[in-house]
Structure 1
Amino acid sequence: MSETNSQQNINTAVTLLERYAEGKRNFSEANLGNADLQGVDLKGSDFSYADLNEANLNGANLRGCDLSFANLSQANLQDADLRGALLFSADLRQADLKGAKLEKADCDRSTHFPQDFDPAQVGLQIKDG
């Protein structure tokens, strides 16, 4: 039974990086709150519904990642590469997005951004449902 839910057992940075190195990209529902993922390359991964609350993703490569419905509140996304990422209904309320590359990333009106953050100014595309 544990094999069918293997992506739900992702709860440490080490496990995540091992699975990524094995070629796995489905980390939906991963529980990575407070994980230190500074500077890691996770491009093309599925982190939909994942808990990345307070995760350190400073300088991480998250190009093309699916972060829909992910909890990224209070995450450190400074200088992270989120180009082409899916941010539908993601919670980025208190995330640090300083220097983050967000061109061609998609979000919707349910995506929560930090106060005074202007999605259009950084090249985010707001899709209407």
Structure 2
Amino acid sequence: MSEINSQQIVNTAVTLVERYIEGKRNFSRANLVNADLQSVDLKGSDFSYADLSEANLNGANLRGCDLSFANLSQANLQDADLRGAMLFSADLRQANLKGAKLEKADCDRNTHFPQDFDPAQVGLQIKEG
């Protein structure tokens, strides 16, 4: 069987969920601007370099996800589970992080958070590169 289908472009919430159910976890560089992923279970997925700006991830399970270099600006991450996620150089400016679980998630000095957000207060670990 050819590998052509393994890297199909994921650019809708429906396609993403279908691929996840099929066992796919590599969604690197996916374009999911404004996607409605409320309460979706996506734990363990690779969203590095993905564009999730303005996405609704309210209550989503993103445990252990790689969100390095992802654009999450203006995303709704309220009550999302981001425990153990990698947020290196991620853009979370103007994201709603109210109630988000961030314990043991990793970030670095290049991770951009909303104004007045204290990463240490929510259990984020800032790694020195």
Which band: TM-score by shorter chain?
Answer: over 0.9
1:81 aligns with 81
CA drift at 1:74: 0.2
1:24 aligns with 24
2:105 aligns with 105
Give 1:83's aligned amino acid. R
1:13 aligns with 13
Structure 2 gap ranges (5+): none
Percent identity between the two aligned chains: 87
Counterpart-to-counterpart distance in 1, 2:20 and 2:14: 10
1:1-129 superposed matches below 5 A: 3=4, 6-7=7-8, 9-129=9-129
CA drift at 1:5: 7.1
Counterpart-to-counterpart distance in 2, 1:4 and 1:51: 21
CA drift at 1:3: 2.1
Counterpart-to-counterpart distance in 1, 2:22 and 2:11: 17
CA drift at 1:124: 0.0
TM-score scaled by structure 2?
0.96
CA drift at 1:4: 6.7
Q: Work out the number of aligned pairs and report it.
A: 128
Counterpart-to-counterpart distance in 2, 1:77 and 1:109: 20
Secondary structure at 2:126 match in 1: strand
TM-score scaled by structure 1?
0.96
Counterpart-to-counterpart distance in 1, 2:15 and 2:5: 16
Runs of 4+ aligned residues of structure 1 deviating over 3 Å after TM superposition are none
Counterpart-to-counterpart distance in 1, 2:116 and 2:81: 21
Counterpart-to-counterpart distance in 2, 1:4 and 1:60: 26
CA drift at 1:6: 1.9
Give 2:113's aligned amino acid. F
Q: What's the CA shift string for 1:62-97, capped at 9, x where partnerless?
A: 000000000000000000000000000000011000
Give 1:89's aligned amino acid. S
